[in-house]
Structure 1
Amino acid sequence: MRYFTRKIVFFLATLWAAITLNFIIPRLQPGDPAEVMVQKLAGKDAQLNPAAVEAMRAMLGAPEGSLFEQYIAYLKALSQGDFGISYTYYPYPVTEVIGQALPWTLVLVGVTQILAFVIGVTLGAYAAWRRNTRFDSIVTLGSTFLGTLPSFWIALLLLFVFGYTTGWFPTGGGYSSTSPGLNVAFLGDAAYHSLLPALSLLISAPIGWILGMRNTMIMNLGEDYIRLAKAKGLPDRVVALRYAARNALLPSVTGFAIALGGVLGGSILVEKIYDYPGMGRLMDEAIGNRDFPLLQALLLFIIVGVLLANLIADLLYGVLDPRVRRAES
């Protein structure tokens, strides 16, 4: 019980620190959102009118007062679920803007992360069990090579080949002229548009799981309990799955939970390349437009998602591995 209580208290303290940093960091960014919007309306080379800037600042509801007063107002609004109005998508609330982008990212990045984890741990476990064979060499060297390729470069290459050259897939967007809705036509169109972004993420995403699972399982294969299981005459399949792979999978639980928590942030570069209407593209727009309310809400979503996923992983780790609870007590 002490182990679980300590983890929950640590989660709450970290959450408060994250919320505070989430308030401070966007305000350290140079530039005034009101000036940015007025400059866009007036033209790139036009001289800014101070009265127009003040009017824009009042229209956007920019925070006033000292930094401490803004912090107290921020906490009060946060407790009420009020993230303010988006500067980029004025006059829509931040919650509505995020609500439209969140499902796209959850489907795209969430599905690819789950597939990457399953594929990665499976290939890594089998490569470890068949270590020093041709399969192990192909998987290890292939993963090492693909790991050097950034995801945005893979996305640009796939877009050029399958989007512009062959024309097999659309070059951007989340859907075409189909009206959004829960119908077969729209879901099929959305899936068709998401194939290239998903493939861009899925090519490099399993690599960390493959190498991590392989290395951990090889270490476990040298343990005494593996030799004992073999000495008892257990089949190789049972030794590999129930003994070696099961224990090697435990360190990957925390990493997988954090990866799922980070899904809320999307993939900024890949979503921008494909003009995919997800959280990553939304964050890129918020940074470029100095949209503090939207940027703060997006960062908070990501932080809370990662912290919750980490908490769940710690609690689950304590359930799966009793040694953790005994060590804590």
Structure 2
Amino acid sequence: MRYFARKIAFFLATLWAAITLNFVIPRLQPGDPAEVMVQKLAGKDAQLNPAAVEAMRAMLGAPDGSLFHQYVEYLKALAHGDFGLSYTYYPYPVTEVIGQALPWTLVLVGVTQVLAFVIGITLGAFAAWRRNSRFDGIVTLGSTFVGTLPGFWIALLLLFIFGYTMGWFPTGGGYSATTPGLNAAFLGDAAYHSILPALSLLVTAPIGWILGMRNTMVMNLGEDYIRLAKAKGLPDKVVALRYAARNALLPSVTGFAIALGGVLGGSILVEQIYDYPGMGRLMAEAIGNRDFPLLQTLLLFIIIGVLLANLVADLLYGVLDPRARRSQS
């Protein structure tokens, strides 16, 4: 019981620290969002009117007063679920803007993360069981080579070949002229637009799982309990799956949970390249426009998602492995 109490207490302390940093870091960024918006409206070379800047700041509801006063007001707003208005998409609330982008990222990045995990641990486990074989060499060396390729370069290459040259897939956007809705035409069109972004993520996403699973399983294959299982005459399939792979999977649980928690952040580069209407593109716009309310809320969602996923992984780890609970006692 002490193990679970310590994990929950650590989660709460980390959450408070993350909320505080989430408040401070965007305010360290130079520039004034009100000045940026007035400059866009007036023109690049136009001289800023101080009165227009003050009016824009009042219209946006930009925070004023001391940093401590802003922090207190920020905590009060969080307690009431008020994340403010987006500077970029004024006058829409931040929650409404995020609500429109979140489903796109959950489907694209969430599905690719699950597929990458399944593909990665499967290939890694089989490569470890057939270590030093041709398959092991191809998987290990191939994963190492592909892992050195930049993700944006892979996305641009796929876009150039299959989008512009061959014309097999759309070159951008999340859907075409189809009216959004829960109907077969729109869902099929959205799936068609997501193929190239998903492939761009799937090329490199399984690599970490492949190498991690292989290395952990190779170490487990040298343990005494594996030799005992083989000496008892158990089939190779049983030894590989129920003994070696099962224990090698435990360290991957935490990593997979954190990866799922980070899904809320989307993939900034891929979504920018394909103009995909997800959370990654939204974050890039918030950074470029100094949209503090939107940026803070996006970062907060990502942080809470990762922390919750990490907490679930820790609690699940304590259930799956009694040694973790005893080490904390």
TM value normalised by structure 2:
1.00
Deviation at 1:221, TM superposition (A): 0.1
Q: Report the counterpart of residue 272 of structure 2 in structure 1.
A: 272
Output the CA distance in 1 between the equivalents of 2:87 and 2:268.
19
Q: Deviations over 1:97-152 (max 9, x none)?
A: 00000000000000000000000000000000000000000000110010001111
Q: Deviations over 1:183-235 (max 9, x none)?
A: 00000000000000000000000000000000000000000000000000000
1:92-131 alignment, distance < 5 Å: 92-131=92-131
Output the CA distance in 1 between the equivalents of 2:40 and 2:269.
24
- Which aligned runs of 4 or more in structure 1 are off by greater than 6 angstroms? none
Output the CA distance in 1 between the equivalents of 2:102 and 2:121.
27
Output the CA distance in 1 between the equivalents of 2:209 and 2:41.
48
Output the CA distance in 2 between the equivalents of 1:53 and 1:164.
43
Q: Report the counterpart of residue 46 of structure 1 in structure 2.
A: 46
1:20-31 alignment, distance < 5 Å: 20-31=20-31
Q: Report the counterpart of residue 232 of structure 2 in structure 1.
A: 232
Q: Report the counterpart of residue 140 of structure 2 in structure 1.
A: 140
Letter in 2 for 1:27: R
Output the CA distance in 2 between the equivalents of 1:201 and 1:306.
19
List alignment gaps of at least 5 residues for structure 1: none
Output the CA distance in 2 between the equivalents of 1:327 and 1:297.
37
List alignment gaps of at least 5 residues for structure 2: none
* Cα-Cα RMSD: 0.4
Q: Report the counterpart of residue 70 of structure 1 in structure 2.
A: 70
Output the CA distance in 2 between the equivalents of 1:326 and 1:307.
23
Q: Report the counterpart of residue 183 of structure 2 in structure 1.
A: 183
Deviation at 1:237, TM superposition (A): 0.2
**SS at 1:87 equivalent:** coil
Output the CA distance in 2 between the equivalents of 1:276 and 1:81.
27
Q: Deviations over 1:32-90 (max 9, x none)?
A: 00000000001111111111000000000001110000000000000000000000000
Output the CA distance in 2 between the equivalents of 1:204 and 1:223.
31
Q: Deviations over 1:214-271 (max 9, x none)?
A: 0000000000000000000000000000000000000000000000000000000000
Q: Report the counterpart of residue 202 of structure 1 in structure 2.
A: 202
Deviation at 1:327, TM superposition (A): 1.2
Indicate whether 1:321 and 2:321 are aligned.
yes
**SS at 1:202 equivalent:** helix
Letter in 2 for 1:251: P
Aligned length: 329
Q: Report the counterpart of residue 246 of structure 1 in structure 2.
A: 246
Output the CA distance in 2 between the equivalents of 1:23 and 1:255.
27
Letter in 2 for 1:98: I
Output the CA distance in 1 between the equivalents of 2:26 and 2:280.
17
**SS at 1:170 equivalent:** coil
Letter in 2 for 1:33: P
Task: Quote the sequence identity (%).
Answer: 89
